Structure 1
């Protein structure tokens, strides 16, 4: 299987059939749609489930602790993509990784749907973390497989795929939020059940249509383990898991493993793991000189993406809390559930993704370079946080603010997201060394892992009293980094050999 060329894979996929794109985009679009419905439906209510009182259907955790847990959970979800990418590249291919991941995610949501203890809650988190690590990077990698590197439809295809992600993300908070948060008589577990059903539908779509639509895409193991390697590696992994489990149990029993220490460990790993991966890929004899140059160009893009996601991902933590406690939820005679605000980001992506996809195609060779698209992403992200300063400045720290401020903030950050995220997915598939294609996609998702690990550290710094400084410093830092990236973009582009 490893001897199959990229051209043979592309030729095996019907190239017309889904809005002028390869037919396989249909399968991947709807698989990811339902997976994202599942994930974002769960995420829309998860932070409220954690910090709402037991009498309100929640777990009764401290709100600051819940915000940190939410960020650490998000970090681990994306960090686990390294495991999923490695297994896909070296063991069973991306297609099987997508299927196995979907099964684990569904089981995790089923566990959340069962009323129980905090222990059951954390068990469900482990299942979802591992499942998303298998599915998320690999389904995006398969999208790259169905296009040839020279195909001008590639960026537009990723934008359409990205629209499918956000269509699921738009509907999920509205549907799940309406069911789970009903004016005080909350039924979070019913909401989690809907998330499990969504993942089941996604699995059915994938299994039923993949053979006809995807051809060989996702079936090739790019860098398979040699027979003599398998036993050694799997033994090492098994021993490692046992040692880690023992250390965790000892730490919990003795009180040395505290949550602040755990947050620091994850934040450290969020930096150490991508650095290690860059070094391994750069030094590998399987990486060519051109691929090494591309990896050098990828480093500043990686750093920029971390800054961007550090702001964007606070929509499910800090801004979710802001929606619940600082926002006027009764407007024009309507009652707004705080979970609904998490539909704004995907809604704006749905509306604007076709515009951006068409814009890149129309501009062709005149469109901004990849680094400058990233720079625009950072500028918009910073502005989205500076906008939140205005209601506090004009109305005071203790007054409820109009929901339109949150709407504006989400709109601006989406402008940045469409400059950076689908472009980053596409650039990753083009800059990835051939022997590390799925693992490089996992590395792209580590930008999100690192960002959310950082967010777990800074979330306790947020309060109604500090929000002016909090939003101002983070937003200002993003704008400064965006300006620097814009200036050095030509230098970065010079390392991207043959990639525009």
Structure 2
């Protein structure tokens, strides 16, 4: 679809109605709110479900293996966004793709709520991986459709949208873990399924009135012949993968360690392939190619950022469970509640950042500068976690305030980088690869967690100080390096700030 047609789509969207933003932001805000409620509620208790003993309701998986599985799972969730973006661009359009993704996610949570052990765990993971890949990048892409490319409300709109994500992420660990404590892990997972159902209800009932034509079009549709060929190739490929996977697992070649290594390799190869494919495509203009080159260092910075941020769900979850005093001023709490700290800070600070960007207008820092500062804050959040081990050793329990402060620092980095990255992706994306470029943005998280699948194996009490220190310093170094080259990269963006 050409830029002219995209402008026509934008004109069908009611432009007032949700905190000064387009009315469609209401629909997407609450759809993503409930989807994130389901996802983060499940993730808040998932690692404990894996490594707690069977007598405590868990599966009794080795702790390091559980962390690696969490990283693999998170990586595949975001890696599948590449498929979701392609399906939206070539087959279904973003709106229909979002709906089908939500149905698969809900089904995955229902399966996980069944007391069927590791079989249900891995089957539900597969459903949620595919469903999130269909839904998440395409919801964000529809947000971009609500604004013209020159609309100054765009960054603020994405910040508000990001608040919706984190409102769901804040409430879900409290509710899901509360149910888990009363009725067990499977009841908690059932609550996550209800959350996704409510998200689907909001989307279906309000999209026609609020979204106009946003998300209804297919950007780069297949011809009839291409569709027939695609379905044949996809069917044979799926059958081949299933058969090979069954054979490899039967003879012992396909272990969790082997699979995690494959995911790590894919996390590196897929974005390289996508950048190469888009840069070689005759469907992008010279300006779009220049912007895509400028996008590469943003991609790499985001990979490093998410590699740190996502460890809050497994490495810091283990720290909360094993190294933290789970009481404060006489109030005792579950380690899963720390998963609400990060989104709570985002809810509190996102409006502040949004108002700052609106107030500064054209005087606000560039996208590259925001990325640089965001990466530095992410690094500092891990450097802080060195201190308890240096001061008190790694055998005893430490104050919960260390984790709270670490989450605060990474949230500041997240607000500088993540909503801005979503907005920058919609502005820098070539028109012919709009949804796929948004999927590439979510690949930053996939690649970061794919790398995590290997490095989290090095974390334990003995390596705690070195682990946090090295990881944090790497992030700070690359953040400062990006800042040094920001002016040169700005030229490549061809007017996009």
TM-score normalised to structure 1 length: 0.98
CA distance in 1, matches of 2:405, 2:359: 28
Q: How does 1:143-158 map to 2 (within 5 A)?
A: 143-158=143-158
Offset of 1:263 from its aligned partner?
1.0
Superposition pairs of residues 298-337 of structure 1, within 5 angstroms: 298-337=295-334
SS of equivalent to 2:253:
coil
Distance in 2, matches of 1:336 and 1:393, equals 26
Is 1:338 the equivalent of 2:335? yes
Partner Cα distance (1:95, 1:35) in 2: 15
2:421 aligns with 424
In the alignment, structure 1 residue 6 sits paired with structure 2 residue 3: no
Deviation at 1:2, TM superposition (A): 8.0
Q: Is the Cα–Cα contact under 8 Å of residues 2 and 220 in structure 1 kept in the other structure?
A: no
1:88 — aligned with what?
88
Secondary structure of 2:395's match?
coil
Partner Cα distance (2:255, 2:98) in 1: 34
Which moved further from structure 2: 241-250 or 339-348?
241-250
Deviations 1:415-469 (A, max 9, x none): 0000000000000000001011000000000000000011110111000110000
Deviations 1:49-106 (A, max 9, x none): 1111111111111111111000000000000001100000000100001100000000
Tell me the CA shift for residue 7 of structure 1.
1.4
| Alpha-carbon offset, residue 177 of structure 1 | 1.1
The Cα of 1:259 is off from its aligned counterpart by 1.7
CA distance in 1, matches of 2:173, 2:273: 36
Shift of 1:237: 1.3
What is the SS of the residue equivalent to 2:495?
coil
Partners of 1:231 and 1:387 in 2: how far apart? 55
Deviation for aligned residue 1:3: 9.7
**CA–CA distance in structure 2, aligned partners of residues 117 and 419 of structure 1:** 40
Query: How far off its partner does 1:350 sit?
Result: 0.3
- Provide the secondary structure at the position in 2 that maps to 1:5: helix
Show the counterpart of 2:256. Answer: 259
Across the two proteins, how many residue pairs are aligned to each other?
A: 497
The alignment's C-alpha RMSD in Å is 1.1
Shift of 1:498: 2.0
Q: Report what 2:283 is aligned to.
A: 286
Alpha-carbon contact 1:149-1:430 (below 8 Å) kept: yes
The corresponding residue for 2:159 is 159
Q: Which residue of 2 aligns with 1:377?
A: 374
Structure 1 residue runs without a partner (length 5+): none
Shift of 1:175: 0.8
2:404 alignment partner in structure 1: 407
Match of 1:466 in 2: 463
Q: In 1, distance between residues paired with 2:161 and 2:95?
A: 17
Please tell me whether the aligned partners of residues 2 and 431 of structure 2 are also in contact (alpha carbons under 8 angstroms): no
Q: In structure 1, what is the Cα distance between the partners aligned to 2:192 and 2:2?
A: 36
Partner of 2:127: 127
Contact kept, 8 Å, 1:2 with 1:223, in 2: the verdict is: no
The counterpart of 1:450, out of the listed 422, 430, 447, is: 447
Per the normalisation by structure 2, the TM-score is: 0.99
1:358 equivalent in alignment to 2:355: yes
Of 274, 279, 302, 1:277 maps to 274
Query: Using a 3 Å threshold, how does the CA distance of structure 1 residues 356 and 458 change in structure 2: closer, same or farther?
Result: same
Q: Which whole-Å CA distance do the structure 1 matches of 2:367 and 2:2 have between them?
A: 30
Preserved CA contact (<8 Å) 2:291 2:493: yes
Among 394, 398, 403, which residue is 2:395 paired with? 398
Give structure 1 regions of 4+ aligned residues with deviation exceeding 6 angstroms.
1-4
Equivalence for 1:207: 204
Assess, with a 3 A threshold, how the Cα gap between structure 1 residues 181 and 2 changes in structure 2: closer, same or farther: farther
1:74 equivalenced with 2:71 (yes/no): no
Alignment of 1:160-199 (within 5 A): 160-182=160-182, 187-199=184-196
Check whether the contact 1:82–1:443 (CA below 8 A) recurs between aligned residues.
yes
* In structure 2, C-alpha distance between the alignment counterparts of 1:492 and 1:246, rounded to whole Å: 46
Please tell me whether residue 243 in structure 1 is matched to residue 247 in structure 2.
Answer: no
Looking at structure 2, the residues matched to 6 and 412 of structure 1 have their Cα atoms a distance apart, in angstroms, of 38
Tell me how far apart the structure 1 counterparts of residues 126 and 48 of structure 2 sit (CA, whole Å).
19
Distance 2:127 2:332 in 1: 34
Offset of residue 331 of structure 1: 2.4
Using the TM superposition, name which of 358-367 and 153-162 deviates more. Answer: 358-367
Give structure 2 stretches of 5+ with no counterpart: none
In structure 1, the residue matched to 2:436 is 439
- Who is 1:20 aligned against? 20
Q: Is the 8 A contact 1:4 1:220 kept in 2?
A: no
